[in-house]
Amino acid sequence: MTAARPLEPARALKEYAPSTLEVLTSIRREGFLGWQMKVWREQGDLVRVRMGAREFVLVTHPEHVRHINVTQREHYDKAESYDVLRELLLGNGIVTAVGDDWRRQRKLMAPFFTPRGVEKFFPIFVSDTQELMERWRAQQGARRPVEMLDEMMKVTAAVILHSVFSTDSGETLLRIKHSIERMITHITDIQMSPVRIPQWVPTPGNLRFRRAHTLVTGYIQELIARRRTLPAEQWPDDLLTKLMTTRDEETGTLMVEQLLVDNGITMFAAGHETTARTLAFLWYALSQNPEVERRLHAELDAVLGDAPPTISDLKKLPYTLQVVKEVLRLYPAAPMYARDAIADDTLDGVHIPQGTRTIIFTYATHRHPDFWEAPERFDPDRWLPEREAARHAQAYHPFAAGPRICLGNNFSLLETHVMTAMLARRFKMRLKPGHVPQFDLFGTLGSRNGLPMLIEAR
Ligand code: HEM
């Protein structure tokens, strides 16, 4: 069934107030993601969860996703739910800004990220993938599993540094990447913990965070300072230059230093991890679905020769893109995101008072049986154009929806499409025998016991 199921308002909201012990036991057993899935399966599509002082509304149904992100979006924003992220990592950069601050930044950056705009980055995607392939070829014969999440992070981090900052920092790249991951883990811990220890308390976690923060901020500041020392005609045509040189249409002023740093960190953090996870899950999914893998290989072998693919080659690789889309359905790197009600609202007949935190549960929407037949099956044919067109638009929202949809969605789809094509043409990834990944939420979707995989040449 593909049409939206109308909900009867009286049935739309379930109240759920589990004891702390119940929640902790469930999280220990099934992980945080497993617990949220259990709440959805047992309670339904719209659930108000109360746990002590904490309260949120879990939103899964595509109609509700549309309501919050699109039709009634002026009632929702990134308010309190984003305070920790704003305060500790992203400041007032584009992911966490609100109101006019956000609108101005989005308008400034949007041209870089249109479907045409991102084609400019294509050569970077190709050359960074070639570098990875050379490294993998050199390692052939080692026959030891690699941690696929790390492998993919290294290549997507290099891509974002090249694309946004026109720089390649080698060893520093690994330290920056590691520090950002450390900060995100710290923030996720704070968001999930019942009590918050102030940042000034010198706990090992806070100290680690401070060190990571100093390193990353210093690095971005240095990139900006280095560019200022160059004559204007030598500034590369990249996002950083755009941010540093474009005057605000209304105020006529340039972006202040702090906002440049905030956006530098934002772009690095938002622009590599989710894509890396998507690619790692893709290799996992292929390793578990040999028939899909066979069809993918057949398409690649028929279209690609020995030379790296061009943009026009990609148009001849529709099945490859279907595989990518299906990975983003079953393994959405951002499995949930928050929106805060900034005004009273009525959602499907249910009163949502101002100040309510809603958690939009992408991972569950993507498995909703009213919209997906055999939801757990990995089936790229769901993305045949006619089937895609017949589906509720918000049954699939790996990049969120509405005006605050991921700015980098075209960028990451092109990046993932070409990397999948290049890597799967030459390599086959196999899950380490006996390994069963335990998917869970770590800010983004991850695996508690990693994703060790063997790389075989084809
Ligand atoms: C598969 C890869 C990706 C996924 C699944 C993904 C997912 C998302 C999601 C769900 C959001 C909304 C977050 C929220 O509302 O809290 C978002 C926002 C955003 N993403 Fe991505 N993203 C990906 C790749 C990228 C890349 C490559 C970039 C940059 C090059 C990027 C830049 C951004 C930005 C700037 C925003 C904030 C947009 C705004 O608020 O106006 N993302 N992304």
Minimum CA distance residue for ligand 1 atom 6: 399
Hey, where are the domains in the chain?
9-457
Determine the number of helices (DSSP H) and then strands (DSSP E) in the chain: 17, 13
The per-residue b/e assignment along 84-99, b for 16 or more CB within 10 angstroms, e otherwise, is bbbebbbbbbbbbbbe
Q: What is the Å distance from ligand 1's center to 140 Cα?
A: 34
CA-wise closest residue to 403 among 37, 143, 74, 40: 74
Rounded to 5 degrees, what are φ and ψ at 53? Answer: -80, -10
3-state DSSP call for residue 447?
Answer: strand
Residue 419: pLDDT over 90 = yes
For range 298-315, the mean pLDDT = 96
Rounded to 5 degrees, what are φ and ψ at 76? Answer: -130, 150
- Report the predicted TM-score, pTM, of the whole model to 2 decimal places: 0.94
Between 359 and 21, the higher pLDDT residue: 359
Candidate from 138-142, 238-242, 385-389 with smallest mean pLDDT: 138-142
Length of the chain measured in residues? 458
Q: Where are the beta strands (DSSP E) in 333-432?
A: 337-341, 345-347, 350-352, 357-360, 427-431
CA-wise closest residue to 60 among 386, 374, 372, 381: 372
Between 192 and 382, the higher pLDDT residue: 382
Residue 8: pLDDT over 70 = no
Counting ligand 1 atoms within 8 A of each CB, the residue from 103, 406, 420 with the most, and so the one to mutate, is 406
Condensed to tens digits (0 to 9), the pLDDT of residues 389-412 reads 999 999 999 999 999 999 999 999
Task: Please give the mean pLDDT across all residues of the chain.
Answer: 92
Give the pLDDT band (50/70/90) at residue 301: very high
Q: What is the Å distance from ligand 1's center to 267 Cα?
A: 9
Q: Which residues contact 139 (CB under 8 A, 6 or more apart)?
A: 146, 455
Question: Does 358 contact ligand 1 (Cβ within 6 A)?
Answer: no
Q: In CATH, what is the architecture of 9-457? A: Orthogonal Bundle (1.10)
Torsion of CA 271, 293, 393, 43, to 10 degrees: -90
Candidate from 6-20, 109-123, 397-411 with smallest mean pLDDT: 6-20
Question: Does 275 contact ligand 1 (Cβ within 6 A)?
Answer: yes
Give the pLDDT band (50/70/90) at residue 194: low
Minimum CA distance residue for ligand 1 atom 3: 274
Question: Does 396 contact ligand 1 (Cβ within 6 A)?
Answer: no
Minimum CA distance residue for ligand 1 atom 30: 271
Minimum CA distance residue for ligand 1 atom 42: 408
Please tell me the distance from the alpha carbon of residue 352 to that of residue 345, in angstroms, as a whole number. Answer: 5
Question: Which H helix or E strand runs over 279?
Answer: helix 257-288
Range picked from 8-17, 245-254, 381-390 for highest mean pLDDT:
381-390
Residue 4: pLDDT over 60 = no
Please tell me the distance from the alpha carbon of residue 113 to that of residue 349, in angstroms, as a whole number. Answer: 37
Question: Does 96 contact ligand 1 (Cβ within 6 A)?
Answer: no
Condensed to tens digits (0 to 9), the pLDDT of residues 266-277 reads 998 899 999 999
Candidate from 138-147, 264-273, 309-318 with smallest mean pLDDT: 138-147
CA-wise closest residue to 338 among 186, 185, 192, 131: 192
Give the pLDDT band (50/70/90) at residue 140: confident
Q: Are 320 and 286 in contact (CB under 8 A)?
A: no
Condensed to tens digits (0 to 9), the pLDDT of residues 169-179 reads 666 777 888 88
Q: What is the Å distance from ligand 1's center to 278 Cα?
A: 13
- Between CA 106 and CA 114, with CA 112 as vertex, the angle to 5 degrees is 90
Give the pLDDT band (50/70/90) at residue 321: very high
Question: Does 121 contact ligand 1 (Cβ within 6 A)?
Answer: no
